[in-house]
Amino acid sequence: MKFIVSSSTLLKNLLSLNGVLNSSNTLPILDNFLFEVNGKDLTISASDLETTMTTTMNVESKDSGIIAIPAKLLIDTLKAFPEQPLTFSADLKKFSIEISSDYGKYKVTGFSGDEYPKAPTVEAGASVEIVSEALLAAINKTIFATGNDELRPVMSGVFVQFSPEGATFVATDAHRLVRYRRSDIKTAVAASFILPKKPLNLLKNNLGAAGGNVKVEYNATNAQFVFGSSRLICRLIDGKYPNYDAVIPKVNPNKLTIDSSAFLGSIKRVSIFANKTTHQVRLKMAGSELNISAEDLDYSNEANERLTCSYAGEDMEIGFNSRFLMDMVANLDSDEVNIEMSAPNRAGILLPVEQAQASEDILMLVMPVMLNN
């Protein structure tokens, strides 16, 4: 089996798949890319059994065949080449691959392509077409709030709900929650599933360059995303997602409106002086003034800043984890942010003053940190 391919195009395609591969695999075959040549089409796959991603590209070839090539060795080799055509000659009986460049020849030992695990198929599934920018926005706005607790796997992914009214994407780690809605993504039949973090990160890294639409197919166990010349299929997280609506407080009489960049800058500076385990910053609201302070009693460090704001409600003091606040404000894409609160021991709600698009609606919730007065 022989084919000729551009070194830089091949490297670009391999790097888009490389995020699928784990650093340590139970099956040695999973340390390889699967190359499948069929005339002028080269299809490359990467898998970790849970997630499989494939991409197809044009090559010069009249042959067909399948072989597994060590991923790290191949990527390291391609990174060392300037742009040039490379000729791959594979012996499908001995599983040896010879790469010829302008400089010389390089021999690699691969594996039988038939040993590579077959990607699952989404049978009897439903499907929806989503504009790639809309899906990318949904991932970017939610993925940072997913949890890392192995004992609660359902919270380590993003909960997706499709309905005839629109789509909802939810992420929470029990300390913060993001609910992102799109009115421009609709399905005839309602459905919901939990997408794991790894395939979401792969989509996040690859959708930007793809453009166009993404076809999403899903059933009870798997979801598949087809975009550009790539296809990603992943196993869904099994389990029931917590009732997120129940934790969103409906009555929040205390409302603060503040300039996003001034607020973010202030938290960044003040949080440097916060306790290194709680990352607690204190917000004190009175009239049109917001006082942001932090202290680390162990080292006698403290900082406080004053900002002008618009505030309606009773004077109050509330503590939040500064990291969570910074993540949320940075992801709101609005010049001004609204923070709605009911009491110092109840969750605060962050909303953008103006939505970036008419078709989207975003709400973020953050649990308070107990103040040590």
pLDDT in tens, 52-71: 999 999 999 999 999 999 99
CATH numbers and ranges of domains, the chain = 2-115 (3.10.150.10), 126-246 (3.10.150.10), 248-366 (3.10.150.10)
Cα separation of 336 and 233, whole Å? 38
- pLDDT at 70 (0 to 100): 98
Q: Is residue 14 over pLDDT 80?
A: yes
Summarize the confidence of residues 33-48 as an average pLDDT: 97
In tens, the pLDDT along 158-167 reads 999 999 999 9
In tens, the pLDDT along 120-129 reads 899 988 999 9
Q: Is residue 209 over pLDDT 80?
A: no
Summarize the confidence of residues 193-222 as an average pLDDT: 93
Cβ neighbours for 29, distance < 8 A, ≥ 6 positions apart? 68, 111, 115, 116, 117
Q: Is residue 356 over pLDDT 80?
A: no
Q: What is the pTM of this model?
A: 0.93
Cα separation of 192 and 150, whole Å? 22
- pLDDT at 357 (0 to 100): 81
- DSSP tag of 240: P
Summarize the confidence of residues 202-228 as an average pLDDT: 93
Q: Is residue 109 over pLDDT 90?
A: yes
Above pLDDT 70, what percent of the chain? 100
- pLDDT at 373 (0 to 100): 64
Q: Are strands 316-321 and 222-227 parallel, antiparallel or unpaired?
A: unpaired
Cα separation of 81 and 116, whole Å? 28
In tens, the pLDDT along 262-321 reads 999 999 999 999 999 999 999 999 999 999 999 999 999 999 999 999 999 999 999 999
Q: Is residue 371 over pLDDT 90?
A: no
Q: Is residue 104 over pLDDT 90?
A: yes
For all residues of the chain together, what is the average pLDDT? 95
Summarize the confidence of residues 84-100 as an average pLDDT: 97
- pLDDT at 21 (0 to 100): 96
Binning pLDDT at 50, 70 and 90, where does residue 372 land?
confident
What number of other Cβ atoms are within 10 A of residue 66's Cβ?
Answer: 18
Above pLDDT 90, what percent of the chain? 92
